[in-house]
Amino acid sequence: MTDYTAKLSGLRHLSPSERFANICKASGIEQTELTALSDASALPMPLADGMIENVIGHFELPLGIATNFVVNGKDYLIPMAVEEPSVVAAASYMAKIVGENGGFHAVASPPIMRAQIQLIGMNDPHGVRQKLLMARDEIIALANSKDKILIDLGGGCRDIEVQIFENTRIGHMVVLHLLVDVRDAMGANTVNTMAEMVAPLAARIADSETRLRILSNLADRRTVSVHAEIKAESLATKDYDGDRIARGIVEACTLAEIDPYRAATHNKGIMNGIDPVVLATGNDWRAVEAGAHAWAAKDGRYTSLTRWEVNKKGNLLGSIDLPMPVGIVGGATKTHPAAQAALKLMRIQSASELGEVIAAVGLAQNMAALRALSSEGIQRGHMALHARNIAIAAGATGPDVDRIAKDMARSGSVSVDEAKTLLNET
């Protein structure tokens, strides 16, 4: 087995099969163990039929590998399932720059998920809260009474919280929260089961009725924080010096901090990096999206998920904090062969580690977007990578795809009409 390295270059000049061989060599993993990442039939129809309802086939996305990532001193080759050009290339390039400056540094909080039990029909919401808090130990014991495996792994219900909502349009409401350490699972099934189990007890204690009994996708107790420090000279382009790029990144981020119209696009770019890794590993990208955007508005105003600053040394500092409810056991992570292969390629050992890596990709993607926006603009690089799609849409096949894409990128005219003109010239 060779030493694992994420530092690869020139992959774009290779064929898909050659890229796959190089990725396997760089990871030290036999090709047979990662076949599911390159095999169109990785998900057999009987297995797909068991995963969701009314199955008639598969819907596939391209799966690329982001290179150059170093997180907490460890190299990662990161699978990303995404249809948008430039995402994988941009993340890889920014990871290379960050890697040359010490890499990404990440820390994850304990994997605490939150279940909610809605209680209605009381006249004394503050009294109900006190009764529930007094019964804390009984509630926790009941919640932990059925999942012996989780308890043996060191997880389980850790605490409770009680929220009061007075005078809603349906009267007083109290919501009991179960705070559950779900270990390496995403945790939805675990916390939902606990909420269902505890609900009758909560109703008796509160002398109230229960309604909703379900997890919250605002996983604010299960967060990841990632930061990186980059020397200004590492950011320089042929047209702009590094100090100018660093200032531009800070200025662009500042608009996202104060303006929700910009913040929505800014954060979408972050999720361009996050969602493809979540998807490739068989996790619930919709839950991660919901939690991220709720987190961005947690202080009452929708704002940026990242912060960029320049320190006294003139270095650029970037950071991201957001909930990251992902798992490596249960669900599609253990059902889908490609998801299993993705985790194997990354050498992921825990759900917290996976969350740290995913958040690092989000920060890299944001850095790439702000670097482009603060210099030549987003379209120049994006359209050059998008040119292949345009060439295919115009009817190009085989070697003509690359030839036409390169000609359009070189001229700066990327359109279906231009591609058709170039195709007709052959």
- Residues with catalytic function: 84, 268, 284, 382
Q: Which of 63, 67, 11, 82 is nearest to 338 (CA)?
A: 63
- Gyration radius of the chain over CA positions: 24
**Spatial CB neighbours of 410, under 8 Å, sequence gap ≥ 6:** none
Closest by CA position to 76, among listed 275, 340, 283, 353? 353
C-alpha 48: how far from its chain's center? 23
DSSP code of residue 4: P
Place of tokens 């009991």: 176
Instruction: Name the residue with tokens 């907490």.
Output: 72
C-beta of residue 157 within 8 angstroms of C-beta of residue 197:
no
Q: What share of the chain is helix, strand, coil (3-state, %, to 5)?
A: 50, 20, 30
For 335-354, give one letter per residue: b (16+ CB within 10 A) or e.
ebbbbbbbbebbebeebbbb
Beta carbons of 344 and 358 less than 8 angstroms apart: no
Cβ-proximal residues to 313 (8 Å cutoff; 6+ apart), any chain: none
CB atoms within 10 A of CB 178: 26
Q: Is the dihedral of CA 135, 137, 139, 141 positive or negative?
A: negative
Residues whose CB falls within 8 Å of the CB of residue 271, separated by 6 or more in sequence, listed in order: 289, 292, 362
List the structure tokens of 189: 């099934």
Q: Give dist(CA 84, CA 80) in Å, integer.
A: 11
- Give the contacts of 33 (CB within 8 A, at least 6 positions apart): 341, 344
